[in-house]
Every structure is written in C-alpha cells, then in structure tokens.
Amino acid sequence: MKKLAILGAMTAAGLTAGAASAATLDDVKARGTLNCGVTTGLVGFAAPNANGEWEGFDVGVCRAVAAAVLGDPTAVEFVPTTGKTRFTALASGEIDLLARNTTWTFSRDVDLKFEFVGINYYDGQGFMVPKELGVSSAKELDGATVCIQTGTTTELNLADFFRANNISYEPVPIETNAEAQPLYLEGACDVYTTDASGLAATRAAFENPGDHVVLPEIISKEPLGPLVRHGDNDWADINRWVLNALIAAEELGVTSANVEELASAPGDNPEINRLLGTEGTLGEMLGLDADWAKRAIMAGGNYGELFEKNIGENTPIGLARGLNAQWTEGGLLYSPPFR
C-alpha cells in the first residue's frame, strides 16, 4: 500500500513544481533555496555541527551567495557530495553551486564543462605522518602505505610524485575523509595524503593532534574554488562577483561589523560605494538589487572574517593565511576592481 503514497507524492510534486527553465537564477528564486554541494564532512570547510547545522569555510560561500540572491543566508539546502558524485550532481542540476574544495584543473574546466568562478583557497597536496615514524621528508617514504581519498586530483599527483622520485608505495584508496581517519590513526596506513588544508582539518579532529606532523613537501598546486555549470553566464557572474565581493571587502576594510554603517550612506571611497550599492548600478547589472554585496558580507563576514572564524589560527584547524593573504600583504588574493 505504501506505493500509493509515493505515487501520490510524485504526482503532487510534479503538479506543484512545474517545469523549470534554463536560467539558474530564476530557478533558485522560484525555489526559494539555493542547493549547494559540499563535502560529506571536513571540519572547518563544511561539516554539520552537533545540531546538524552546516558550518565551515565553504559553507560560508554558499551562505553568502544565498544572502546575495535570496536575501536570506539560511535559505541554503546543503547537499553532501563525495568525490564521485559531485560533478554529476552539478551537471545534472541537482545542485546550483559546488563549493567543495574542488581543484581548478584544465580538464574539469574544459572537458567536463564546468565554470570555476574563482579561487577561495590556494592549497597544495601534503603528507601527514605520525611523529613516531621519524620521517622528515616525503622522499623518505619509500615502501610506505599511503591512504588516499579517491576521486580527487590527489591520487594522480601522488602517482606522479612517486614516479618522478622513483620510489615505491602502496596506495590504499578510501572513499571519504571519515573512513580514512581510523585507518590512519590505527596504523593501517603510514601516511595520509590530501590537500594541506584538509590535513590540518583532519588533524584538528584527532584526540592528540600533536602526535602527527605534516611534512614540508607540497607536491602540487591545488587552487580550490566554487564552480557552476557551463553555459549559464549570468549565474556564473553572480557567483564570481559574490566571491570577489568577499575578497574585495576585506581589502577595503568592510567587515560584517561596519557594513551596515558604510552602506547607509555614500562614503568617501567610491569603490566601497559601488560595492555596497550606494553609488552606481552594479547590482542591477547582475540582475540583483543594490544591496546584494552588503547582504553577502553580512551573512558571515568578509573573506578574512570567514577565514579566521572557520580555519584561521585561532581555531583548532589553525591554518596560517600564507598564500591566502591579500595581495597587499604578500598573498595571492586579488579581486578585480568593482567598477
């Protein structure tokens, strides 16, 4: 008899949902929520807390987009994706935005037909080993058993690195970060390798983080960024400029604390005025209202605030800004001008 419920539900859903159009922005507005793809759980980047609410650095991007587009940072439906499912989920329209520490590569951009809207974290692949092994360089890892998360660029980099250095290893492919953790902790693998930020996040969740070291070698470039489908340029623009707005806000000194005040009236800095909509019509050009950037910044703060709150040095994850500092402070973050 249960079949009836499902049939009924399907029909009812079909009747109420109606046909969707090609424009993602309209879909999102009609739906009232943003479907945002995140990891299945990586503390600091995207993980549900004890109450089941998602929080983290990538989650912050989703919330900023939702705030800019829908006016409500909580109007986000988080869809956990694995390395395997993330691209199909995006390509098939199950999610509108994939903010899941995904590396921007040529083939993903060109062959898989996705549009990376920017880079929110400059990362690289590193190795974590227990301190007691006494290893100080990745080149000493000959014969080691290495746990890798599958479905990422990680396993390709790893194969290249070991081949280039002509050393052998035993790969142990693991589907998710959560499954890799016990394998590594109990010693079934000598080494755990993934993006350095992921290593820091994983290590932070250990009982004794001090017993493990991240080796100095960073064997790859991993520019991580949110991405959307190819072909919907308006939607890509919105996401790109929300991200840029967060970065620019930090550069311009706009924070979640003072954004309300700065947006209330045009100030001295014309770029802040344009960003916050008190001058010019940037919001309108995006198909949004004038306050879009203000709402995005208020959702979780500017880039620097998001970083400090979720993965910065005062959090258990304890990542330094490093490459992810503003260009004015020797980092790589450089938002194009808002004009």
Partner 1 sequence: MSTYSDPPSGSFQLSMLINDTRYRSYTFQFVALLLLVLGMAYLGWNLVQNLAAAGLNISYQFLGEPAGYDINQTLIPYTSQSSHWQASMVGVLNTLLVAFLGCIMATIIGVAVGVLRLSNNWIVRQLMSIYVEIFRNVPVLVWILIIMAIFIAVLPQPRDFRGDDAEASMFLNAFAFTGRGFYSPAPIFGPGSGVVVAVFLASIAGIFALRNYATKALYQRGQLIPTLWPSIALFFIPAILAFYIMGRPIGLEYPELRGFNFQGGVFMRNSLIALWFALSIYTAAFIAENVRAGILAVSKGQTEAAASLGMRPNRIMNLVVLPQALRVIIPPLISQYLNLTKNSSLAIAVGYMDLTGTLGGITLNQTGRAIECIVLLMLFYLTISLVISALMNVYNNAVKLKER
Partner 2 sequence: MSDTHAQSVAFVRDTMIPEQAPPASEAGIIKWMRENLFSGWFNTILTLVSLYFIYQIVTSAYPWFANGIWTTSSLAECREALDGMTGACFSVLTERWNQLLFGFQYPNDAYWRPTLAFFLLIVALVPVLYPKAPRNMLIFTAIYPFLAFWLIWGGTILIPIVAMLGFVGGYFAFKQFDHQSFAMGLLAGVIAAVVVWWVGGFATGAAPNLLALEAVPSRDMGGFMLNMILGTVCVALSLPIGIVLALGRQSHMPIIKWICVIFIEFIRGVPLITLLFVANVVLAYFLPPGTNFDLILRVIIMITLFASAYIAEVIRGGLAALPRGQYEAADSLGLDYAQSTRLIIMPQALKISIPGIVNVAVGLFKDTVLVSVISMFDLVGMIRGPILASTEWNGVYWELWGFAVFVFFIVCFSISKYSQWLERQLATDHR
Binding residue (CB under 8 A) for partner 2 from 107, 111, 132, 207: 207
Q: Where does 161-217 show beta strands of DSSP type E?
A: 169-174, 191-195, 212-214
In sequence order, the 6+-apart residues with CB closer than 8 A to the CB of 101 are 39, 42, 45, 58, 121, 123, 195, 197, 198, 224
What's the min distance (Å) between Cβ of 83 and partner 1?
A: 5
Report yes or no: 228 and 99 within 8 Å, Cβ to Cβ.
no
* Closest to 201 measured CA to CA, from 45, 52, 48, 323: 45
Q: Which does 205 bind (CB under 5 to 8 A by kind): partner 1, partner 2, none?
A: partner 2
Least separation, in Å, of the C-beta of 89 and partner 2? 8
Piece of 73-81, 235-243, 251-259, 307-315 that binds partner 2 (CB under 8 A): 73-81
The three-state secondary structure class of 66 is helix
Q: Is 21 in the site for partner 2 (CB under 8 A)?
A: yes
Least separation, in Å, of the C-beta of 174 and partner 2?
11
Helix (H, G, I), strand (E, B) or coil at 176: coil
Question: CB-wise, 35 or 157, nearer to partner 2?
Answer: 35
Residue 131 C-beta: closest distance to partner 2, Å: 18
Number of residues forming the site for partner 2 (CB under 8 A): 49
* Nearer Cβ to partner 1 (85/255): 85
Query: 176 vs 255, which CB is nearer to partner 2?
Result: 176
Helix (H) or strand (E) holding 123: strand 121-123
113 part of the interface to partner 2, by CB under 8 A: no
- Footprint of partner 1 on this chain (CB under 8 A)? 22, 83-84, 87-88, 91-92, 108, 111-113, 132-133, 141-145, 150-152, 155-156, 158-160, 162-163, 169-175, 182-183, 186-188, 190, 229-231
At residue 48, φ and ψ (nearest 5 deg) are: -75, 135
Is 205 a residue that touches partner 2 (CB under 8 A)? yes
Applying CB under 8 A, does 318 fall inside the site for partner 2? no
Q: Which of 130, 313, 126, 132 is nearest to 209 (CA)?
A: 130
Tokens for 154? 């990680």
Is 15 one of the binding residues for partner 2 (CB under 8 A)?
yes
Strands 34-38 and 97-103 come out as: parallel
What is the smallest separation between the CB atom of 284 and partner 2, expressed in angstroms?
27
Q: Which does 94 bind (CB under 5 to 8 A by kind): partner 1, partner 2, none?
A: partner 2
Angle between helix axes 196-204 and 177-185 (nearest 10 degrees) is 70
Which residues lie closer than 8 Å to 5 by C-beta, 6 or more apart? none
The residue written with tokens 């190795």 in the block is 127
Nearer to partner 1, 91 or 290 (CB): 91
Phi, psi of 333 (to 5 degrees): -75, 125
Q: How far is CA 139 from CA 159, 215, 338, in A?
A: 13, 10, 45
Q: How far is the CB of 209 from partner 1 (least distance, A)?
A: 19
Residues between 149 and 178 with contacts to partner 2, criterion CB under 8 A? 175-178
* Separation between Cα atoms, residue 134 and residue 306, nearest integer Å: 35
The CB-of-179 to partner 2 minimum distance in angstroms stands at 6
Using CB under 8 A, list all residues that contact partner 2. 1-12, 15-17, 19-22, 27, 40-41, 48, 51-52, 77, 79-82, 84-85, 88, 91-94, 175-179, 181-182, 185-186, 205-207
